[in-house]
Amino acid sequence: MSFLKHLHVAYRLQPICPIEGRFGARGQAEFPLRALQFKRGLLHEFQKGNTSKEQVHLHDLVQQLPKAIIIGVRKGGTRALLEMLNLHPAVVKASQEIHFFDNDENYAKGIEWYRKKMPFSYPQQITIEKSPAYFITEEVPERIYKMNSSIKLLIIVREPTTRAISDYTQVLEGKERKNKTYYKFEKLAIDPNTCEVNTKYKAVRTSIYTKHLERWLKYFPIEQFHIVDGDRLITEPLPELQLVEKFLNLPPRISQYNLYFNATRGFYCLRFNIIFNKCLAGSKGRIHPEVDPSVITKLRKFFHPFNQKFYQITGRTLNWP
């Protein structure tokens, strides 16, 4: 029996996922069950090399350029956002960060190279990729504009000082893995000569969201962006995801059933159906080092005017300190 036949039988015998069950007649017409089967099983099998390209072609599957991109921000919760959106039957994620627009070597390979990096999907589904470096890389807005001037752009942000510390924690972990020593966060974030915030430190610069956004606004109107509150995505993911569904003009399909709090991980995890659950990798949700409170205060004061500008431009107030 072919793999596809196996899959079909398996899906008929096993209980149906509640989000599929809630599809009315209209929903089914929009997202055929076989698309769901592909998303939930065949895609993984294909990626693992368990089924051939020929079989996939039989099902009219195509590799589509993304209709929406999570452009950043690094450590904002970009992976969690992508994985959670992928719960939606009409969304297909590009699993890897592709780094097409921010990497000159990749960009030189051309748009067909990029398209071939995309997952297989049905024409009525939308592909989403995430590469957080896009947000801060000078050339990217123009390059994305040239591909698709009406693309939807998602930016997930966290309180800027927390994000900077998270960024530092990731770099620190990399150094420790290589048995290298590294500076303390305080030393990097504060210029020892002036005692002012060190704006040359990348983790600080990345958190000045408004500066980066302003570059993007030279190419795209603000209506093409949606801001996701990364702090709320951690504590209360569903309402944030529902706002994204609306922004992407998708019918609401992600429900509380799809998200459950895992006390051991201390984060929400994903439930596709009664069989498939997953939490994000352990590299998401690291314990941050303790940082001198006076440095935190200084950073928060520094970010404050930039945050105000960010709220004003985006129309989303996040009440950061």
Q: Which residues are catalytic?
A: 75
Q: Does 286 bind ligand A3P (CB under 6 A)?
A: yes
* Residue 296 binds ligand A3P, judged by CB under 6 A: no
- By the rule CB under 6 A, 121 interacts with ligand A3P: no
Output 82 or 92, the one with its CB closest to ligand A3P: 82
Residue 75 sits in the site that holds ligand A3P (CB under 6 A) = yes
| 285: contact with ligand A3P by CB under 6 A | yes
How crowded is residue 187: how many other Cβ atoms within 10 Å of its Cβ?
A: 13
User: How far apart (Å, rounded) are the C-alpha atoms in residues 58 and 61?
Assistant: 8
Question: What tokens does 172 get?
Answer: 């620190």
CA distances from 123 to 32, 39, 179 (A): 11, 13, 48
Three-state DSSP at 184 gives coil
Q: Binding segment for ligand A3P among 34-42, 68-76, 90-98, 189-197 (CB under 6 A)? A: 68-76
* SS3 state of residue 123: coil
Does residue 78 have a known ligand-binding role? Answer: yes
Task: Determine whether the annotation assigns residue 27 to a binding site.
Answer: no
The residue within the footprint of ligand A3P, chosen from 268, 302, 303, 320 (CB under 6 A), is 268
230-231-236 Cα angle (round to 5) = 95
- For ligand A3P, the binding residues in 123-162 under the rule CB under 6 A are 132
The answer to whether 254 and 242 are in contact (CB under 8 A) is yes
Pairing label, strands 267-271, 259-262: antiparallel
Residue 66, Cβ neighbours under 10 Å: how many? 24
Q: How many residues bind ligand A3P (CB under 6 A)?
A: 17
Contacts 24+ apart (CB under 8 A), 187-190: 189/164, 189/295, 189/299, 190/295, 190/298
166 in a labelled binding site: yes
Residue among 51, 78, 207, 273 that touches ligand A3P (CB under 6 A): 78
Q: Considering only residues 77, 119, 141, 160, which one is a binding residue for ligand A3P as defined by CB under 6 A?
A: 77
66 binds ligand A3P (CB under 6 A): no
Tokens standing for 134? 């896009």
List residues binding ligand A3P (CB under 6 A).
74-80, 132, 166, 233-234, 267-268, 280, 284-286
Tell me the binding residues for 3'-phosphoadenylyl sulfate.
Answer: 75-79, 158, 166, 268, 284-288
